[in-house]
Chains A and B, each alone.
Chain A
Amino acid sequence: MKKTERLNQEIDELSKIKKSINEIKRNYQIMNNNLEMKKDVRKMIDILDKIYIEIFDNTHNLQLFQMYGDFYLPTISKLISRYNNLINKKIKSTDVQNLLSNIENSIKKINVHFQNKYNSFFEDEIIDLDADIKVLLNELNNK
């Protein structure tokens, strides 16, 4: 693949991801301050911002995050947007309440997932570092 094509592809991926993150940020801004959910969305934004930094300059990490811009992040953004709408409509039905609670739980789970994903960017580094420490300790013991 040509260099420019590859760069365009990367930019395309990054654009989709950033656009979704921005959308989530916009939804966060209009979210009612009293909601517990707001804290979780904030947490999500923080992790996503960190992830974005890691994928921005690292093609390998970007590949690990590829599907997110196409599907996951727009869906999450949509979920939060719907959550906002439903909260604003103040509908008290059980179905709605269940859905809201579902979204809240999902967001918490997604946050854990994102945190793991973020950690996974450093897996190789951790493994390498772990191996280095083991070697170092071994050598020290031998002496």
Chain B
Amino acid sequence: MATTITKTETLVGKRIRRKEDPRLITGTGTYVDDLKLPGMYYACVVRSPHAAAKIKGIDTKAAAATPGVVAIYTGADVADVGPQPCGASLPGLRVPHHTVLATDRVYLVGHAVAVVVAADRYIARDAADKVEVDYEPTAAVADPEKALAPGAPAVHPQWADNTAFTYHQEGGDPNKAFAEAEVVVKEKILSQRLIPSMMEPRGVVADWKSGDQTLTVWTSTQTPHLVRSLLAGMLGLPEHRVRVVAPDVGGGFGAKISVYSEEALMGWVSRKLGKPVKWIESRRENFLCTSHGRGHVDVVELAAKKDGTILGLKIKIIQDLGAYFTMLTPAVPTLSVLMIPGLYRFKNFTADIVGAFTNCVPTDAYRGAGRPEATHVIERMIDILADEIGMDAVDIRMKNFIQPNEFPYATPTGLLYDSGDYAAPLKKALDIVDYPKLLEEQKKARAAGRLMGIGICAYGEICAMGPSPATPAGGWEVATVKISPDGKVTVLTGVSPHGQGEETTFAQIAADLFGVPLEDVVVLHGDTGQIGYGIGTFGSRATAVGGAALYFAAEDLKKKIKKFGEMLLESDDVSMDGGACIDNKTGKRVTLAQIAQASYRAMTLPKNTDPGLEATHFWEPPNFTFPFGAHICVTEIDKDTGAVAIKRYVAVDDCGKIINPMIVEGQVHGGVAQGLGQALFETAVYDDNGQLLSGEFTDYAIPKATMMPWIETSETITPSPVNPLGVKGVGEAGTIGASPSVTNSVVDAVSHLGVRHLDMPLTPEKIWNAIQQASKK
């Protein structure tokens, strides 16, 4: 049977305007706080002002007497709600039992103590202020190094050493590598605690219908199905009676992967009162209560030969975990270990992690999740090695890159890099900036007493999370493709976009596969009542895993379409193109609409074929994907003030095949902004009492428009063999490339003065002080 289905690509690869935008630019999107249900109550959570305290008593009388207050609940009331779940498991891991409301003690500022439910949000907040909690403050510790020191206050009394876990991994023969080394460089490198700061804080609307015994929860999340499973568990409800909806979600960056206490709490309240209830996180709460990112103290040694050949690496990581765990808290630093060799072919390493409890909000995934920390370490160490042996850092990178003929490449950390040509983006970036000319300019600038820096980062990352055995939840993804009786296509995807644009890119993929116009495809996501069980959006997985699931679902459905085409055309030589089946002998065609009508009307059916046009495919990826790239940042430092001016920023990223270049560039821009924010501006500061000093946008400096340089983007394209689309993922690339390139640039600008390393954020004060110290030497 010579039937073929031609795949003509007309939309994939094009700069297509987003289908989600018309609603978002007209103010007609639907975020959680836009929902208003009949009879809905509003909740406000009462939170601890202390980082550590015993609760001696709670007096809710005055609050309860406030007109309009419906109910107030404390820890004792919600004892039947299960604790905060953590998806990560490590040998010997100590998991704090974190209940949705505190009972006898609090261990972080912002710890939820009570919930006030009222007729409107103003009343709820008024009454929350009247809840009197009698605290007996105790000693707190907010710094992970101090937490691990002997005699530090115990965050949890049963674990006096504040150690949640230790983890060791090694590969090759690190001792031999260091014994044979001609040069060893050592540095302590921080990847500071960051606050994700998505523009939409979290929010929940819960609606229990007692007649149906069903709970619907609208929540601002990246993982509606995982939230449904965990929520059902926490509330003791059968999962098929819980529906979770992620409507329009205003950013997440990893901090909306977890299920959170408030989701369970609102579900419980709605069930208790038989009314819908809304809770919207304030920005202050978002700073205090939504998971943070990073929080690494790394001590690193790199062993090399004098010719720049890297022999091995040793790293000790202290991970600031915070006071309890959200979904992935303890797993994040293990990702750093996996990616610590970067793009380089050395085989010997040893890594140790100590996970430290602190009286702070948990750290968890934040754009890059473990890979920015690893890349920052290896890319800083390359520059430090270059400085030590007097070799150009570009030459060290080129010399040590894994070569294109070595793929698939087994790393000593146990990964299998899928494909790559690591020199290609670096060469391209060097060409764009005209590197030899830049070096000349730098020489002249230095001679004139000016401080000019050239910073390079060659990064690799692990994306498309991931094969299920290697991920805390399943790592597969699901897609359903339906063709309605009029021949129009609906894609239902298990990924949960919140800015990444899959309503457009997935429509591009599906439209090409069926040969129909973009307008004929609608992509739905986020509603567990509508979509087959999926995993969600994080770890740059949506297109590489969810897009591949869509590809296979569409291919499954096309087989069925073809059977109807053969029946209607009375031919066994049929191909599919341009939204129709065509008889290759006669040229006769039947449209998708005619086929759809035939399949739903079902007067006659092809042999062994059921009515209807719908296919679902669960796709398990055989491997991760490994995007890579090179970023170059040129800076000039004002030596009198320490202020950094970015003169040029070039990003050359290889994310495999590109579905929509406009969206890829947008992801790179935003990623770079977050990496640059870490390098220059952002840091979560807790004082010794565990008070978050950088707890508002006045004190936590996310980049503003005036703080961002123009980003010049370019790409190389090395398709991934892991999925049929050849895509690798690009959500986190910009962030991973940016912090090392900016930091390397700033350090390079002052390296000739004798400065070898500076930790982020590179504030003018820090740089100015480094210049002063160096000039004293």
Q: Do A and B bind each other?
A: no
Give me the interface of B with A, judged by CB distance under 8 Å.
Answer: none
Give me the interface of A with B, judged by CB distance under 8 Å.
Answer: none
